[in-house]
Amino acid sequence: MKKYIPISFLILAVAVTSNAQVALGDKVPNFSSIDQDGAKWTLKKNVKSADYLVVYFYPAAFTGGCTAQACSYRDQKGEMASVGAQVVGVSGDKPETLALFALEHSLNFTLLADETGELATLFGVPQNEGGTINREIKGKTLDLARGTTIKRWTFIVDQKGTLIYKDSDVNAAEDSNKVVEFLASLK
C-alpha cells in the first residue's frame, strides 16, 4: 500500500529546515563570505585567530548609524584586543561598496558581504529588501546597491565556535562598549 504525504507537510518541512538558525550555546556552522578585498573569508579559518569573534550585522554602509557603529569598533581596536576579540561586520552591501566604506572611514577590521542574506538567516537576524543609496565619495557621486537590508544585531563566538552572546537590541554608538564590557566580565 502506498503512503502519501500531504504537500502542505512537505512545504512546512522545507521551510523549517531552511530557516534553521544558531541559538545561544550552539556551535555556529562553518560559513563563508566575500570580504571587502574580494577574498573568501571562512569562520573555520578565522574563529581561532583570537579568543572571541565579534560578528555584528548592520543595515547598510555609508548610513549614519552604521558609520557610527563601524567607527566605534575602529576606535576601540585596542580595547577589543585587550579582551581577546577580533571584529567582523556583516551587511547586505556588495564587496566593492564595503571596500569604499573601509577606505573612506579607515576601518581596521574585516567587512563581509551578505548580499543574499544567508548569514543573517543563519544567525536569525531579520532582514528586508535591499536598496540603493547615492553617496559622494572622493568627489564622485555613486549609486551604492545592496542585496538585502539587515537589522542591527551583534553576536560573539568563542574559539570553539560556540555562540556565547546575542544582542538584538543594539544601539549603534554604544555597541562596541557593550561588547568590551561583556568580554571583560568573562576574564
Domains of the chain: 24-185 (3.40.30.10)
User: Model confidence over 125-184: pLDDT tens digits?
Assistant: 999 998 888 888 888 888 888 999 999 999 999 999 999 999 999 999 999 999 999 999
Q: For residue 107, which of 148, 66, 138, 135 has the smallest C-alpha distance?
A: 66
Residue pair 157/27 in contact by the 8 Å Cβ criterion: no
Side chain identity at 80, as an amino acid letter? M
Q: For residue 172, which of 151, 143, 158 has the smallest C-alpha distance?
A: 151
**What's the rounded Cα separation, in Å, for the pair 73 and 175?**
8
Q: What is the structure's pLDDT at 63?
A: 93
Residues with catalytic annotation?
66
Q: What is the pTM of this model?
A: 0.87
Q: What is the structure's pLDDT at 20?
A: 65
